[in-house]
Chains A and B, each alone.
Chain A
Amino acid sequence: MLDVIKIKKDFPIFNNHQDLIYLDNAATSQKPQTVIDRIAEFYSSENANVHRGVYPLSEQASEAYEIARKKVADFIGAKSSKEIIFTKGTTESLNLVAQSYALENLKVGDEILVADFEHHSNFLPWQIVCQKTDATLKILNSDKSGFISQKEWQNKLSKKTKIVAIAHASNVLGTINDIKKIAKMIHSVGAVLVVDGAQAIPHLSVNVQDLDCDFYAFSGHKMLGPMGIGILYVKETILAKMLPYQLGGGMIESVSMNETIYADYPEKFEAGTPNVEGAIALAEAIDYLSAIGLPEIRAHEIKLSEYLLNGLAKINRVKLLGTADAKGRTGLVSFYVDGIHAHDLSDFLAKNGLALRAGFHCAMPLHQSRSCGATLRVSYYLYNSEQDLEFLLSNLEKAITYYG
C-alpha cells in the first residue's frame, strides 16, 4: 500500500479542509503543490507567448511547451511527439476527431459503433457526425458486468464499420476494456479506433503503440494536472491526412490574400495561443505520478476496490453497477440503494465531509439501459485510504437507516 499520510501532505487541499474525504476523483483529481507551484512559476518568471517571438523569454517558453509535449508522448508511449495535440480536455479531443476526421471520411452506408456506457462526450459528437453524413450510429450493448461480449461484437462489427469509439475505462461502471484486443478486431474490418482514455490514464500504464489505437483522448485534470489542458494522440499515418480543426494564428506556414499553407502537425491543430502553463504543469503532474509509480498506484487502488466491494456486498439493498472483480475496474465503484434516492444519500454523506458524486455522471443512456435512476459514484486515488472507505461504509449504513 502507498504511504497515504505522506502523500496527502503533498496536496494542500487536505490541509485547507481537514475533514474532507475526497472520493470524486473521476470528476477531477486534487493537485499536488508541485503542480500548483509550476503554474505560478511560469507566470512569475517565464511568461511569453510561444512560437512567436525571437527573444529569449519566448524561446524559453516555446521550449518548455515542447518539452511538455515530449513528456506526454513518452508517458503514453507515442512514437513521436508530433502525434501529440494539446487541447482543452477529453471533450475537445473527441470533438476534434469527429470534426477533422469523421466528417471528412464518412458517407451514407458507413457505420460508427459506440458502447452503451459512453460518457456523453464520446456519444454526442458521433450522433452529430451521423446526422450530417447519413452514416449510422450503432450501439454496442454491455453485459451485466459492464463488458461487451464477443457475440455482441460479432453482431455489430462489419465491413460497414468505419469508426469504433469506446472508453478505455467507463466513468460509471469503472470497467476496463481490453483495448488491444478491440483494436486487433476492428482493424481487421478496416475501421479506426477512437479511445476515450479520460478515466484510464490516471490509473493505468498506457502505451498507445502497444494498444494499437488510432486516437487516444484524455484530460490533464483527472491525473493531478490543471483543468483546461488535454491531449489528443493521433497515429501519425492518420494525422498527416487530417484537415485542421480550428483556423487562426499559430497554425499556418504562410498566408496570402489568395492562399494559405498550413503548418505541419501538431501545430496545424493548435490554432490560437495555447494553454502553455497547463501543458507544462501537466508535465509536472506526470513527473509526480512517475515518481510514485503508476504500478504502485494501481496496486493501491485494487486493494481499495477489494475493500469497498467487499463492504458494499454486506450492506442490504445496495445494488452494484459493473463487475465485482476489483482487477477489472479502475478506482471507481458506482451503486444505488433500492428505495432511497442517490441525491438523498449524497446529502447525508456530504454533511459528514464525504465528497462523492450522485447523478447520471454524463451517461444517461447507460442508466436507461440498466433501468435505474441516479447512482452514487465513489472514485478514489493515490491519497485515499481504507479508513476513508471505512468511514464511507459506516455513514452509508447510517444514511440507509435514517431514510429507512
Chain B
Amino acid sequence: MDDLYRSELMEIYKDPTHKGHLSDPSISTEKQNTFCGDHLHLTLKIKNNIIEDAKFDGAMCFVSIIGADFLLEEIIGKTIKEAKKIDQKKLLELINLNLSTSRVACATLTLKALQEAIEKYEQEKN
C-alpha cells in the first residue's frame, strides 16, 4: 500500500524537533482534547515580545504531534503579534495533510494552547 503519510512527516513524528519542556518558561499551559484524550503541555520563552523558544510535550496522536511541531517551528523567532496571526487555516496549509473533520481538532490542539498561552502572558504582563 501507499504510505499513509509523507515520509518526512513520519520522521518528525518519531523525533519531533520541538518536543520537551523549557526549564525556565515565561509562560506554560496545558490543553486537552476530550474527543480522543490527548493532552498537551506547552512552554514558551518570550523576551521583548519575541518568542525565543517553545516546546511541547504530552500524550498525543500523529496528527497533533505534527500540528505542534510545525506550529512551533513557525513561531520561534517571531513576535507575539505575528504569532497571533496564525489561524487554523494557516496551520492546516502548513502541515498539508488531508484530514477528516474529526481530526482537525487534533491538528489544532497546540494552536489553541498557544492562543491561550499568549492571552495569559499578556494579561499577566499588564
Interface on A for B, CB 8 Å cutoff? 341-344, 347-348, 351-352, 358-360, 364, 367, 373-374, 402-404
Given contacts A347-B4, A348-B4, A367-B37, 19 further A-B contacts (CB under 8 A): A341-B36, A341-B38, A341-B60, A341-B62, A343-B36, A343-B106, A344-B61, A344-B62, A347-B62, A347-B103, A352-B1, A358-B36, A360-B37, A373-B37, A373-B38, A373-B59, A374-B36, A402-B10, A403-B62
CB<8 Å pairs between A and B, sample of 9: A341-B59, A343-B106, A359-B36, A360-B37, A373-B37, A374-B37, A402-B4, A403-B13, A403-B62
- In angstroms, Cα B69 to Cα A45, docked, is 60
Q: How far is the CA of A404 from the CA of B1 in the complex (A)?
A: 17
- Bound together, the chains give a CA A285 to CA B13 distance in angstroms of 46
Docked Cα-Cα span, A181 to B10, in Å, equals: 52
Q: Which chain B residues lie closer than 8 Å to A343 at the CB level?
A: 36, 61, 63, 103, 106
Query: Which residue of B is nearest A341, CB measured?
Result: B61
Taking a contact as CB atoms under 8 Å apart, the answer to whether B35 and A359 are in contact is yes
Is the CB of B6 closer than 8 A to any CB of chain A? no
Given the complex, which residues of B lie within 8 Å of A352, measured CB to CB? 1
A232: shortest Cβ distance to chain B, in Å?
A: 30
Total B residues in contact with A, Cβ cutoff 8 Å: 18
Produce 1/0 per residue, B104-118, CB < 8 A to A: 001000000000000
In the assembled complex, the Cα of A373 lies from the Cα of B39 at a distance in Å of 10
Is B125 close to A, CB under 8 A?
A: no
Which residues of chain A are within 8 angstroms of B35 by Cβ–Cβ distance? 359
A352 vs B3: C-alpha distance when bound (angstroms):
11
Question: Does B89 count as interface, using CB distance less than 8 angstroms?
Answer: no
C-alpha gap A402/B38 in the complex (Å): 20
Q: What chain A residues lie within 8 Å of B38 (beta carbons)?
A: 341, 373
Q: How far is the CA of A341 from the CA of B59 in the complex (A)?
A: 8
Question: What's the nearest-Cβ distance from chain B to residue A95, in Å?
Answer: 23
Contact residues of B between 69 and 108, Cβ < 8 Å to A? 103, 106
Interface code B1-43, partner A: CB below 8 Å = 1, 0 otherwise?
A: 1011000001001100000000000000000001111100000
Residues of A within 8 A of B3 (CB): 402
Report Cα–Cα, A382/B61, bound state, in Å.
33
Bound-state CA distance A20–B73 (Å) is 39
Task: Decide: A373 and B36 in contact? CB cutoff 8 A.
Answer: yes
Contacts of B59 in A (CB 8 A): 341, 373
For A395, the closest partner residue in chain B by CB is B1
**Top 4 closest A-B pairs, CB basis?**
A341-B61, A373-B37, A344-B62, A374-B36
> Across the two chains, which residue of chain A brings its CB closest to B102?
A343
Contacting pair B4 A351 (CB below 8 A): yes
Q: Is the CB of B36 within 8 A of A351?
A: no
A321 to chain B, nearest CB (A): 14
Measured in the bound complex, the distance between the Cα atoms of B4 and A352 in whole Å is 10
